[in-house]
Amino acid sequence: MKYTKKCPKCGSTDILYAKGYTGSYGSGNNIMYGATIFSAVDVDRYICGNCGYVEHFVRTGDIERLRKSKKIKQVE
């Protein structure tokens, strides 16, 4: 939906966007990969306004931060 502007499940083009953020104590939509909010990566969401399907995206510039974390594992 991020790239196609179209829901892959129902075909709707009614797509909503929720920008990821990190608030106090790690609230918000993010991935915590360390002990503090300084080790949080924001997760953006795209929501289908018709069927409710949701896609989640970490910003590409943050991927290496996750890869270096001991809490994040590579799927074998």
Asked if 33 interacts with Zn ion (CB under 5 A), we say: no
**Any idea which residue has 């969401």 for tokens?**
45
Site map (CB under 5 A) of Zn ion, residues 35-74, x = contact = -------------x-xx-x---------------------
For the record, the structure tokens of 9 come out as 């499940």
Longest dimension (CA), the chain: 40
Asked if 7 interacts with Zn ion (CB under 5 A), we say: yes
- Strand-strand pairing, 54-58 and 40-48: antiparallel
Q: Which residues bind Zn ion (CB under 5 A)?
A: 7, 9-10, 12, 48, 50-51, 53
